[in-house]
Amino acid sequence: MRERFAWLRLAALFATLGSSLPLLADDGRPIGEVSTVFKFLTPNDKIKIHAFEDPAVEGITCYISRAVTGGLKGAFGVAEDTSDASISCHQTGPIRFRSAIAAGKNGEEVFNERRSLLFKELHVTRFHDAQSNTLVYMTWSDRLIEGSPRNSISAVPLAAWNGVAAQPARFDR
């Protein structure tokens, strides 16, 4: 009887953890992927590319690539993916600010994704370079105890698009 309850508790734990798997994260629009390590019976290790629009700035699309661990752990969503990621952001239409953006030195998070079952996330943070009138996007990862210095940046000048001037940036005060 005790053994049966132990299995039920274990099943409940997996059900609870399964509701927060990285596979369920909103990780943007899928663009493509390549396999980097072949696994015979389980998913391959891959590099995946996704696109996402800046939620506060219309007319900017960011493309992010990151390593995704396959194997048995990857198949069940319990693998810890590496901190390797790259970002490239581009103006894809007239720039309009949907809402005010952060003007401080700490920037403003515009995207995040879990990279492990617990405690590790990949972030994209937006900064504004007022002197160049440019938005700078940085991808980086953190962990509960220790983050990673691996990062990548991309800059988008606030320029006209087909004769339509970029809307001036609005800032939170």
pLDDT at 75: 64
SS (H, E, C) the chain: CHHHHHHHHHHHHHHHHHCCCHHHCCCCEEEEEEEEECCCCCCCEEEEEEEEECCCEEEEEEEEEEEECCHHHHHCCCCCCCCCEEEEEEEEEEEEECCCECCCCCCEEEEEEECCCCCEEEEEEEEEECCCCEEEEEEEEEECCCCEEEEEEEEEECCCECCECCCCCCECC
pLDDT at 42: 82
Tokens of 99: 């809402």
Tokens of 130: 């007022």
Walk along the chain (173 residues) and give the pLDDT tens digit of each residue: 555 544 444 444 344 333 333 333 356 899 999 988 888 888 788 888 999 999 999 999 999 998 887 777 666 666 666 778 899 999 999 999 998 888 788 889 998 876 555 567 788 999 999 899 999 999 988 865 666 778 899 999 999 999 998 888 877 75
pLDDT at 143: 67
pLDDT at 141: 81
Q: Looking at the chain, how many residues does it have?
A: 173
Tokens of 6: 């132990």
State the residue for tokens 């962990």: 143
pLDDT at 16: 37
**Among positive and negative, which fits the CA dihedral 22, 28, 42, 46?**
negative
Domain boundaries, the chain: 22-157
**pTM (whole model) above 0.85:** no
Tokens of 124: 């994209």
